[in-house]
């Protein structure tokens, strides 16, 4: 049974989608055993409490620098024997200390088709640029900003009347489907690497299919 920790700073809708997928059997042999937030009022912590999942609060102001923050966070993850770290709206760039400890075992989801529009304003930047298609990306976390190996992507056409709010809502619906799928692939050991490219092994043929 794989042990998953979810790190979230806000509402936690992707956390809820992951928990629902586990309950439905769409992700098997895994469970969320820890939810961590850097925001005391994050609703993700309320969701965790409702599901009976242990919670932890890591406020940046309680640590002198990013590395000491990450070392304390890493110690908690290791003490809880976490296999996979899932970032779900966690608004902190993690240091190399964390990245190296969970290399190819830490995922993030981003509301654009990376490498286009990284950073916190992915939806707004896509609208401002005038692209006709955007979407979301699940990727492994590396030392950069939304720059790790891509696992899965899904595209979404931008409507003429889309606002940041309406587009964000529609992208969230994609995320809630795509993130559990990526987690399930990892749990089942279906993701393979060639350089920075990710592939999925096909059960029928044993041949890899490139994901991103």
Annotated catalytic residues are 110
- In angstroms, the CA 139 to CA 179 distance is 10
Q: Alpha-carbon torsion 92, 95, 96, 102, what sign? A: negative
Contacts of residue 137, Cβ cutoff 8 Å, sequence gap at least 6: 109, 110, 112, 113, 114, 146, 150, 152, 153, 212
Phi, psi of 120 (to 5 degrees): -75, -15
Cα separation, 38 vs 59, whole angstroms = 5
Residue 154: φ, ψ to 5°: -140, 135
């Amino acid at each position: 049974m794989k042990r998953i920790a979810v790190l979230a700073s806000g509402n936690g809708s992707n956390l809820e989608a992951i928990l629902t997928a586990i309950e439905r059997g769409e992700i098997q042999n895994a469970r969320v055993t820890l939810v961590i937030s850097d925001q005391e009022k994050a609703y993700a912590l309320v969701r965790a409490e409702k599901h009976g999942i242990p919670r932890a609060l890591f406020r940046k102001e309680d640590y002198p620098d990013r590395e000491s923050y990450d070392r304390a966070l890493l110690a908690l993850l290791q003490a809880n024997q976490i296999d996979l770290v899932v970032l779900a709206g966690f608004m902190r760039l993690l240091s190399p200390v964390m990245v190296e400890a969970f290399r190819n075992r830490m995922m993030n989801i981003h509301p654009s088709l990376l490498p286009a529009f990284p950073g916190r304003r992915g939806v707004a930047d896509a609208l401002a640029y005038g692209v006709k298609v955007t979407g979301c990306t699940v990727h492994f976390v590396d030392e950069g900003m939304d720059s790790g190996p891509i696992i899965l992507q899904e595209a979404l056409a931008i409507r003429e009347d889309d606002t940041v709010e309406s587009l964000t809502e529609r992208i969230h619906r994609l995320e809630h489907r795509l993130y559990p799928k990526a987690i399930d692939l990892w749990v089942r050991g279906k993701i393979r690497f060639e350089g920075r490219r990710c592939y999925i092994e096909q059960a029928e043929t044993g041949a890899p299919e490139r994901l991103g």
